[in-house]
Amino acid sequence: MEQPLSEKKSAGPLLPSPLVQHPKRTSALRSSLRILSVFLLCGYACMTLTAQLPLLVDDLLDKHESRCPQSDPLVPERNGALWKSLNATFGTESFKAQAVDWLGGAVRVPTESFDDMGPVGEDRRWEAFAPFHDYLLAAFPLVHSTLQLTKVNTYGLLYVWQGSDASLKPIVLAGHQDVVPVNPMTVYEWIHPPYSGHYDGRKIWGRGSLDDKSGLIGSLSSVESLLARGFAPTRTVVLAYGFDEEISGTEGAQNLAAALLGMYGKDGVAMIVDEGGGFAEEYGSVIATPGIAEKGYLDVKVEITTPGGHSSVPPKHTGIGMLSALLVEYEGHPYKAKLTRQDPLYSTFLCLGEHAKEVPKDLRATIRRSWSSKKALRQLQEEIFKNPVYKSFVGTTQAVDLIQGGVKANALPEKASAVVNHRIAVISSVEEVKAHDSELLKGLAERFNLTYNAFGTKVSKKAEGAPSSGSLTLSDAFGTALQPAPVTPTGKDAAPYQLLSGTIKASYNSHRGLTGTNEIIVSPGMPSGNTDTRYYWDLTRHIFRYNHHNAGKKTNRLSGVHTVNEAIEVDTFVEIIRFFTTLILNADEATTL
């Protein structure tokens, strides 16, 4: 009979157990497991450390060196009392009324420039600028009685406010007199007539109120105000106003640049400030983005020539049909944009990552890691390129903007052409774009049996004299190809950038009664278009494209640059005057420009 469990004697386990049966093996196995555990833990720790290393390194570096160093607000010292007095004046209702009169009167003089204008002296449409000069003479009497005015190519304006110290390089404040024409078909859409200069108690309305008579009149208003207080500069101040910026500046700024080069020589100017970026709220902080570079420019004319004939006996592809296929090829193969650390937009995001208050934690970490990590840079690119505007700032763009072909419905077109506008990335060149476009269309040229000439080079592989269906020619449509601009220095040793940054901060603070160091963050930026500064590269390395206004304010369509309802708040215009005044006084006291 089986014994009860309680009475059974232990007979040992049913299966052999080395832990019980072999004590020496047990100890060795335990040691091995401990070593394995330590090894695994160390491996995990190493993997974690490796993954976090770029961020840890950045954390250490950030304690010693900023990726986006900020200047303190720069307030004039020698002329501090004058600056404070003028700032008080700028805040009065009487000065605001004067500012309205100055800018409103300028808007009321139409100064349109057109793409098809001939040379000065031949095309009478340039004569529209003479009444504008008469207006300036009447509106700014102290400027015209004190500064030396030279008219370059009849309508270019070059004012020189001679400083007492000829050894100091001058500063140049640039702008343009011309405006984009108002489409007669859209006049009824304007809340106030486009050349009324109407003031509604808050805004001044009309073409040019923003682009760029606010800049031109703003700098003149500043000089007039300084002269009224008896200020005489130590450093020369030059005002340079072109009159055809909207059509590439070949008659205006190109000639002004030659005159300035003759006066001051290569690198003879301390710094230039022209129209460009402004400031806006981004991620909970206000950021100003003076343009330190410009994209290049190339208009490519794509032209097809084919035999004519009656349309009742058409070929398989007419010239317009072939041109259409070429343009589809263009749009089917856009340029690939790639964010690099040399791009101004990257510098902007470095500043946002370091200073903006509401940047998401993950994005901030990605921005910081991107300084040393290619993977993080690609991740940042992916995030940035979700915004098509940012993407267009970085890469070379293309847009089919003009097309022409045929003269009659029953006649085969003998010529058909289109113009493709390119804005060339900072890290690219005109030559790269020409090579890209030439290669892009080669296959279609062969398919359509066209002789192919691209920018003066024969590309077609057809045997000499072999019959063809026509010709394809690529060329610089208007002879206005432009390389990307040299990048303006922005480091700690770049005195002009530091002076501009401090001036932006002081102007912003004083207009709002603020005193903080980082009420506004200043970051390198880049405007989307080109300005008259394309002609000024030889004068200085320090070129800034900046309008001191809130570029982030958009109320319906009421800020319509180049479109209907262009307008500017008078408070914004007064702040522009305040900025130019502060800049002139700060530059006058600077010894290292």
Are 221 and 131 within 8 A, CB to CB? no
Looking at domain 296-476, its CATH class is: alpha beta
| pLDDT of res. 38 | 54
Strands (E), 56-210: 148-152, 156-161, 171-176, 203-205
Angle at 336 between CA 334 and CA 338, to 5 degrees: 155
Are 309 and 492 within 8 A, CB to CB? no
Q: How far is CA 5 from the centre of its chain?
A: 90
What 3-state class would DSSP assign to 493? coil
Q: Which of 224, 244, 245, 343 is catalytic?
A: 245
Are 171 and 270 within 8 A, CB to CB? yes
Q: Residues forming the annotated binding site for Zn(2+)? A: 176, 211, 246, 274, 562
Preceding amide of 532 cis, omega within 30: no
Are 306 and 322 within 8 A, CB to CB? yes
- Cα separation, 16 vs 18, whole angstroms: 6
- Helix, strand, coil percent content, the chain, rounded in steps of 5: 40, 20, 40
| pLDDT of res. 468 | 80
Q: Which of 58, 178, 282, 575 is catalytic?
A: 178
Q: Is 178 a catalytic residue?
A: yes
CATH 3.30.70.360-classified regions of the chain: 296-476
pLDDT tens digit sequence for 31-73:
655 655 555 555 555 554 444 544 444 444 444 579 999 999 9
Are 506 and 584 within 8 A, CB to CB? no
| pLDDT of res. 460 | 77
Are 476 and 299 within 8 A, CB to CB? yes
Looking at domain 80-292+490-589, its CATH class is: alpha beta
CATH 3.40.630.10-classified regions of the chain: 80-292+490-589
| pLDDT of res. 7 | 39
| pLDDT of res. 236 | 98
What's the token pair of residue 196? 């009324």
Q: Is 245 a catalytic residue?
A: yes
| pLDDT of res. 6 | 38
Are 14 and 7 within 8 A, CB to CB? no
CB crowding 385-395: b at 16 or more within 10 Å, else e: beeeebbbbbb
**Residue 168 CB contacts under 8 Å (≥ 6 apart), including other chains:** 234, 235, 236, 270, 593
Q: Residue ranges of the chain with pLDDT lower than 70?
A: 1-64, 461-467, 553-559
| pLDDT of res. 84 | 98
Eight-state DSSP code of residue 67: S
β-bridge partners, 286: 281, 520
- Scan for tokens 């700028």, then name that residue: 90
Q: How many CB atoms lie within 10 A of CB 404?
A: 13
Annotate 156-193 with DSSP letters as a single string: EEEEEE--S-TTSPPEEEEEE--BPPPPGGGGGG-SS-
